[in-house]
Protein backbone atom coordinates (compact mmCIF):
# COMPACT_ATOMS: atom_id res chain seq x y z
CA UNK A 1 0.00 0.00 0.00
CA UNK A 2 1.37 3.38 -1.00
CA UNK A 3 0.68 6.49 1.11
CA UNK A 4 0.69 10.05 -0.18
CA UNK A 5 1.25 13.07 2.01
CA UNK A 6 -1.15 15.54 0.37
CA UNK A 7 -0.84 19.27 1.13
CA UNK A 8 -3.34 22.00 0.25
CA UNK A 9 -1.95 25.55 0.55
CA UNK A 10 -4.55 28.32 0.49
CA UNK A 11 -4.71 31.99 1.48
CA UNK A 12 -6.34 31.26 4.86
CA UNK A 13 -5.41 27.65 5.69
CA UNK A 14 -2.84 24.95 4.98
CA UNK A 15 -4.19 21.38 5.20
CA UNK A 16 -2.11 18.20 5.17
CA UNK A 17 -3.39 14.63 4.98
CA UNK A 18 -2.12 11.10 4.64
CA UNK A 19 -4.00 9.55 1.71
CA UNK A 20 -4.22 5.84 0.93
CA UNK A 21 -3.39 5.73 -2.81
CA UNK A 22 -5.27 2.48 -3.41
CA UNK A 23 -8.63 3.78 -2.15
CA UNK A 24 -7.89 7.54 -2.40
CA UNK A 25 -9.27 7.97 1.12
CA UNK A 26 -7.88 10.23 3.84
CA UNK A 27 -6.31 8.33 6.77
CA UNK A 28 -5.31 11.33 8.87
CA UNK A 29 -5.78 15.08 8.36
CA UNK A 30 -4.35 18.21 10.02
CA UNK A 31 -4.82 21.91 9.35
CA UNK A 32 -3.18 25.18 10.36
CA UNK A 33 -3.89 28.84 9.58
CA UNK A 34 -1.71 30.22 6.76
CA UNK A 35 0.85 32.55 8.40
CA UNK A 36 -0.18 36.12 7.69
CA UNK A 37 3.47 37.17 7.48
CA UNK A 38 4.68 36.64 3.92
CA UNK A 39 8.28 36.06 4.96
CA UNK A 40 9.55 32.83 3.36
CA UNK A 41 11.27 31.69 6.60
CA UNK A 42 8.04 31.94 8.64
CA UNK A 43 6.08 30.10 5.95
CA UNK A 44 8.73 27.39 5.83
CA UNK A 45 8.66 26.96 9.64
CA UNK A 46 4.86 26.55 9.55
CA UNK A 47 5.17 23.90 6.82
CA UNK A 48 7.82 22.08 8.85
CA UNK A 49 5.64 21.85 11.98
CA UNK A 50 2.67 20.61 9.93
CA UNK A 51 4.50 18.09 7.71
CA UNK A 52 7.23 16.63 9.92
CA UNK A 53 4.91 14.43 12.04
CA UNK A 54 3.23 12.99 8.92
CA UNK A 55 6.20 12.54 6.57
CA UNK A 56 7.64 9.30 8.08
CA UNK A 57 4.46 7.43 7.13
CA UNK A 58 4.38 8.68 3.49
CA UNK A 59 6.04 7.55 0.24
CA UNK A 60 5.75 10.85 -1.65
CA UNK A 61 4.25 14.35 -1.35
CA UNK A 62 1.56 15.89 -3.60
CA UNK A 63 0.87 19.60 -3.18
CA UNK A 64 -2.13 21.64 -4.35
CA UNK A 65 -1.33 25.33 -3.92
CA UNK A 66 -2.82 28.72 -4.57
CA UNK A 67 -0.92 30.65 -7.28
CA UNK A 68 0.93 29.31 -10.29
CA UNK A 69 3.34 26.41 -9.80
CA UNK A 70 5.95 26.92 -12.50
CA UNK A 71 8.47 24.07 -12.36
CA UNK A 72 8.02 23.78 -8.60
CA UNK A 73 8.30 27.52 -7.95
CA UNK A 74 5.33 29.44 -6.53
CA UNK A 75 4.42 32.52 -8.60
CA UNK A 76 1.25 34.54 -9.23
CA UNK A 77 -0.48 36.41 -12.04
CA UNK A 78 -0.91 39.18 -9.49
CA UNK A 79 2.41 39.28 -7.54
CA UNK A 80 0.79 41.40 -4.79
CA UNK A 81 -1.23 38.36 -3.74
CA UNK A 82 1.85 36.47 -2.61
CA UNK A 83 4.09 39.30 -1.38
CA UNK A 84 7.36 37.80 -0.11
CA UNK A 85 6.30 34.32 -1.22
CA UNK A 86 6.42 35.24 -4.92
CA UNK A 87 9.10 32.99 -6.49
CA UNK A 88 9.16 30.78 -3.37
CA UNK A 89 10.83 27.43 -4.15
CA UNK A 90 7.89 25.41 -2.86
CA UNK A 91 8.78 21.94 -4.13
CA UNK A 92 12.45 22.17 -3.09
CA UNK A 93 11.47 23.43 0.36
CA UNK A 94 8.95 20.65 1.02
CA UNK A 95 11.39 18.08 -0.34
CA UNK A 96 14.01 19.35 2.10
CA UNK A 97 11.54 19.21 5.02
CA UNK A 98 10.11 15.76 4.28
CA UNK A 99 13.02 14.07 2.46
CA UNK A 100 10.39 12.68 0.07
CA UNK A 101 9.82 13.02 -3.70
CA UNK A 102 7.58 16.09 -3.99
CA UNK A 103 5.28 17.33 -6.76
CA UNK A 104 2.97 20.36 -6.93
CA UNK A 105 0.14 21.76 -9.01
CA UNK A 106 -2.26 24.68 -8.67
CA UNK A 107 -5.17 24.05 -6.24
CA UNK A 108 -7.95 24.60 -8.82
CA UNK A 109 -6.16 22.20 -11.21
CA UNK A 110 -6.07 19.59 -8.41
CA UNK A 111 -9.76 20.15 -7.60
CA UNK A 112 -10.60 19.87 -11.33
CA UNK A 113 -8.92 16.46 -11.48
CA UNK A 114 -10.83 15.26 -8.41
CA UNK A 115 -14.13 16.48 -9.87
CA UNK A 116 -13.27 14.69 -13.12
CA UNK A 117 -12.57 11.32 -11.49
CA UNK A 118 -15.65 11.69 -9.25
CA UNK A 119 -17.77 12.57 -12.27
CA UNK A 120 -16.45 9.73 -14.36
CA UNK A 121 -17.62 7.01 -12.03
CA UNK A 122 -21.07 7.60 -13.58
CA UNK A 123 -20.41 9.79 -16.61
CA UNK A 124 -18.34 9.59 -19.78
CA UNK A 125 -16.94 13.12 -19.95
CA UNK A 126 -13.79 13.49 -22.08
CA UNK A 127 -13.25 17.25 -21.97
CA UNK A 128 -14.21 18.93 -18.72
CA UNK A 129 -13.78 22.42 -17.30
CA UNK A 130 -13.98 23.10 -13.57
CA UNK A 131 -14.82 26.69 -12.59
CA UNK A 132 -14.71 27.89 -9.01
CA UNK A 133 -16.49 31.20 -8.41
CA UNK A 134 -15.65 32.42 -4.93
CA UNK A 135 -13.68 35.47 -3.70
CA UNK A 136 -11.81 35.02 -7.01
CA UNK A 137 -12.49 32.91 -10.10
CA UNK A 138 -10.26 29.95 -10.86
CA UNK A 139 -10.41 26.83 -12.92
CA UNK A 140 -8.88 23.65 -14.21
CA UNK A 141 -9.10 21.85 -17.53
CA UNK A 142 -9.20 18.15 -18.31
CA UNK A 143 -8.78 17.45 -22.04
CA UNK A 144 -8.75 13.96 -23.53
CA UNK A 145 -9.07 12.69 -19.94
CA UNK A 146 -5.76 14.32 -18.92
CA UNK A 147 -5.39 17.19 -16.48
CA UNK A 148 -3.82 20.18 -18.23
CA UNK A 149 -1.20 21.94 -16.11
CA UNK A 150 0.58 23.76 -18.95
CA UNK A 151 4.22 24.44 -19.82
CA UNK A 152 4.40 27.18 -17.16
CA UNK A 153 1.70 25.87 -14.80
CA UNK A 154 -0.84 28.44 -16.03
CA UNK A 155 -3.44 26.21 -17.71
CA UNK A 156 -6.97 26.79 -16.42
CA UNK A 157 -6.48 30.34 -15.07
CA UNK A 158 -9.78 31.38 -16.63
CA UNK A 159 -10.44 34.09 -14.03
CA UNK A 160 -8.17 36.32 -16.10
CA UNK A 161 -9.97 36.05 -19.41
CA UNK A 162 -11.45 39.42 -20.40
CA UNK A 163 -15.23 39.84 -20.53
CA UNK A 164 -15.37 43.66 -20.57
CA UNK A 165 -12.61 45.54 -22.39
CA UNK A 166 -13.69 48.77 -20.64
CA UNK A 167 -14.03 47.08 -17.26
CA UNK A 168 -12.04 47.68 -14.06
CA UNK A 169 -8.26 47.20 -13.95
CA UNK A 170 -7.20 43.78 -12.66
CA UNK A 171 -4.11 43.06 -10.54
CA UNK A 172 -2.82 40.85 -13.36
CA UNK A 173 -2.36 43.93 -15.60
CA UNK A 174 -5.39 43.55 -17.89
CA UNK A 175 -8.70 45.38 -17.88
CA UNK A 176 -12.09 43.74 -17.32
CA UNK A 177 -11.04 40.19 -16.36
CA UNK A 178 -14.03 38.06 -15.39
CA UNK A 179 -12.67 37.87 -11.83
CA UNK A 180 -13.08 41.68 -11.56
CA UNK A 181 -16.63 41.53 -12.96
CA UNK A 182 -18.29 38.35 -11.67
CA UNK A 183 -16.49 36.98 -8.56
CA UNK A 184 -17.82 37.21 -5.00
CA UNK A 185 -15.47 40.17 -4.43
CA UNK A 186 -16.81 41.91 -7.56
CA UNK A 187 -20.42 41.24 -6.48
CA UNK A 188 -19.62 42.86 -3.11
CA UNK A 189 -17.97 45.89 -4.76
CA UNK A 190 -20.87 46.39 -7.19
CA UNK A 191 -23.34 46.10 -4.30
CA UNK A 192 -21.36 48.57 -2.16
CA UNK A 193 -21.40 51.13 -4.99
CA UNK A 194 -25.11 50.62 -5.68
CA UNK A 195 -26.37 50.59 -2.08
CA UNK A 196 -23.85 53.26 -0.97
CA UNK A 197 -22.70 51.20 2.03
CA UNK A 198 -19.98 48.57 2.41
CA UNK A 199 -21.28 45.08 1.73
CA UNK A 200 -19.68 41.78 0.77
CA UNK A 201 -20.69 39.33 -1.91
CA UNK A 202 -22.59 37.12 0.51
CA UNK A 203 -24.73 40.05 1.73
CA UNK A 204 -25.56 41.10 -1.83
CA UNK A 205 -26.49 37.49 -2.66
CA UNK A 206 -28.74 37.30 0.41
CA UNK A 207 -30.51 40.53 -0.65
CA UNK A 208 -31.09 38.99 -4.09
CA UNK A 209 -32.56 35.86 -2.51
CA UNK A 210 -34.90 38.10 -0.48
CA UNK A 211 -36.20 39.62 -3.72
CA UNK A 212 -34.17 42.86 -4.01
CA UNK A 213 -34.26 43.57 -7.74
CA UNK A 214 -31.01 45.60 -7.87
CA UNK A 215 -29.09 42.85 -6.04
CA UNK A 216 -30.67 40.28 -8.34
CA UNK A 217 -29.39 42.23 -11.38
CA UNK A 218 -25.82 42.04 -10.02
CA UNK A 219 -26.09 38.26 -9.47
CA UNK A 220 -27.59 37.78 -12.93
CA UNK A 221 -24.86 39.81 -14.63
CA UNK A 222 -22.28 37.60 -12.86
CA UNK A 223 -24.02 34.40 -14.04
CA UNK A 224 -24.38 35.84 -17.57
CA UNK A 225 -20.63 36.59 -17.71
CA UNK A 226 -19.79 33.06 -16.54
CA UNK A 227 -22.20 31.65 -19.16
CA UNK A 228 -20.38 33.64 -21.90
CA UNK A 229 -17.04 32.29 -20.67
CA UNK A 230 -18.41 28.74 -20.70
CA UNK A 231 -19.77 29.20 -24.23
CA UNK A 232 -16.42 30.59 -25.48
CA UNK A 233 -14.45 27.72 -23.95
CA UNK A 234 -16.95 25.11 -25.10
CA UNK A 235 -16.63 26.18 -28.73
CA UNK A 236 -12.82 26.42 -28.39
CA UNK A 237 -12.20 23.13 -26.59
CA UNK A 238 -15.30 21.01 -27.34
CA UNK A 239 -16.18 20.66 -23.66
CA UNK A 240 -18.81 18.10 -22.77
CA UNK A 241 -19.08 18.94 -19.08
CA UNK A 242 -18.54 22.02 -16.93
CA UNK A 243 -18.41 21.57 -13.15
CA UNK A 244 -19.24 24.66 -11.09
CA UNK A 245 -17.84 25.14 -7.57
CA UNK A 246 -17.04 27.88 -5.04
CA UNK A 247 -19.19 29.76 -2.54
CA UNK A 248 -20.89 31.82 -5.29
CA UNK A 249 -21.02 28.96 -7.81
CA UNK A 250 -22.79 26.70 -5.33
CA UNK A 251 -25.05 29.43 -3.87
CA UNK A 252 -28.80 28.81 -4.29
CA UNK A 253 -29.97 28.98 -7.94
CA UNK A 254 -26.63 30.26 -9.36
CA UNK A 255 -26.09 27.17 -11.56
CA UNK A 256 -29.71 27.51 -12.76
CA UNK A 257 -29.04 31.13 -13.79
CA UNK A 258 -25.95 30.02 -15.76
CA UNK A 259 -28.05 27.32 -17.43
CA UNK A 260 -30.75 29.88 -18.32
CA UNK A 261 -28.22 32.07 -20.13
CA UNK A 262 -26.69 29.08 -21.91
CA UNK A 263 -30.16 27.91 -23.00
CA UNK A 264 -30.46 31.10 -25.06
CA UNK A 265 -27.50 29.96 -27.18
CA UNK A 266 -27.31 27.39 -30.00
CA UNK A 267 -26.91 23.81 -28.81
CA UNK A 268 -23.18 23.53 -29.66
CA UNK A 269 -22.44 26.14 -26.99
CA UNK A 270 -24.18 24.20 -24.22
CA UNK A 271 -22.18 21.59 -22.25
CA UNK A 272 -23.62 19.77 -19.24
CA UNK A 273 -23.54 22.08 -16.21
CA UNK A 274 -22.87 20.11 -13.04
CA UNK A 275 -22.55 21.47 -9.47
CA UNK A 276 -19.26 20.39 -7.79
CA UNK A 277 -19.69 17.39 -5.52
CA UNK A 278 -16.34 17.00 -3.82
CA UNK A 279 -16.25 19.67 -1.12
CA UNK A 280 -13.32 21.01 0.88
CA UNK A 281 -10.88 18.14 0.36
CA UNK A 282 -10.98 18.15 -3.47
CA UNK A 283 -7.54 19.85 -3.65
CA UNK A 284 -5.88 17.30 -1.32
CA UNK A 285 -7.50 14.27 -2.96
CA UNK A 286 -7.06 15.57 -6.53
CA UNK A 287 -3.33 16.21 -6.07
CA UNK A 288 -2.87 12.82 -4.34
CA UNK A 289 -4.68 10.92 -7.10
CA UNK A 290 -3.02 12.79 -10.00
CA UNK A 291 0.54 12.30 -8.73
CA UNK A 292 -0.08 8.71 -7.55
CA UNK A 293 -0.98 8.00 -11.18
CA UNK A 294 2.16 9.76 -12.47
CA UNK A 295 4.34 7.83 -10.02
CA UNK A 296 2.48 4.53 -10.52
CA UNK A 297 1.79 4.41 -6.80
CA UNK A 298 -1.76 3.10 -7.30
Span interacting with Zn ion, options 109-117, 177-185, 192-200, 232-240, rule CB under 5 A? 177-185
Q: Indicate the helix (H) or strand (E) that contains 131.
A: strand 128-133
Q: Binding of Zn ion at residue 154 (CB under 5 A)?
A: no
Residue 256 three-state SS: helix
Binding mask 87-126 for Zn ion (x = CB under 5 A): ----------------------------------------
Q: Give me the sheet containing 241-245, strands edge to edge.
A: 146-148, 137-143, 128-133, 241-245, 272-275
Residue list 261-290, contact with Zn ion (CB under 5 A):
none
In whole angstroms, give the CA distance from residue 234 to residue 262: 11
Q: Binding of Zn ion at residue 76 (CB under 5 A)?
A: no
Q: Which of 46, 100, 154, 172 binds Zn ion (CB under 5 A)?
A: 172
Q: Closer CB to Zn ion, residue 54 or residue 163?
A: 163
Q: Binding of Zn ion at residue 177 (CB under 5 A)?
A: yes
Q: Closer CB to Zn ion, residue 102 or residue 155?
A: 155
In whole angstroms, give the CA distance from residue 50 to residue 72: 20
Q: For residue 34, what is the DSSP state?
A: P
Q: How many residues bind Zn ion (CB under 5 A)?
A: 5
Q: Which of 160, 270, 289, 297 binds Zn ion (CB under 5 A)?
A: 160
User: Taking a C-beta distance cutoff of 8 angstroms, is the pair 234, 268 a contact?
Assistant: yes
Q: Closer CB to Zn ion, residue 206 or residue 232?
A: 232
Burial 128-159 (b: 16+ CB within 10 A, else e): bbbbbbbbbbbbbbbeeeebbbbeebbbbbbb
User: Taking a C-beta distance cutoff of 8 angstroms, is the pair 189, 196 a contact?
Assistant: no
CB of 152 to Zn ion, least distance (A): 16
Q: Which of 82, 147, 170, 243 binds Zn ion (CB under 5 A)?
A: 170
Q: Closer CB to Zn ion, residue 161 or residue 200?
A: 161
For residue 178, CA distances in Å to 74, 160, 169, 226 come to 23, 6, 11, 8
In whole angstroms, give the CA distance from residue 225 to residue 261: 9
Binding mask 214-253 for Zn ion (x = CB under 5 A): ----------------------------------------
Q: Closer CB to Zn ion, residue 40 or residue 171?
A: 171
Q: Binding of Zn ion at residue 157 (CB under 5 A)?
A: no
In whole angstroms, give the CA distance from residue 223 to residue 229: 10
Q: Binding of Zn ion at residue 158 (CB under 5 A)?
A: no
Q: Which residues bind Zn ion (CB under 5 A)?
A: 160, 170, 172, 174, 177
Amino acid sequence: MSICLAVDIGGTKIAAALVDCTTNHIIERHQIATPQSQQPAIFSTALTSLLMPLAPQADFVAVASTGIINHGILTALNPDNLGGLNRFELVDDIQRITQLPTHAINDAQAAAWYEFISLNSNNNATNMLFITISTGIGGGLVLNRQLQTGARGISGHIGHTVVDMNGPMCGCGRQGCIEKVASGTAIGELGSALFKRPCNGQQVYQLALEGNKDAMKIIHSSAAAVAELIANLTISLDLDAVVIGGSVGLAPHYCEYIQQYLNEKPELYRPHIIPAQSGGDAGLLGAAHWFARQENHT
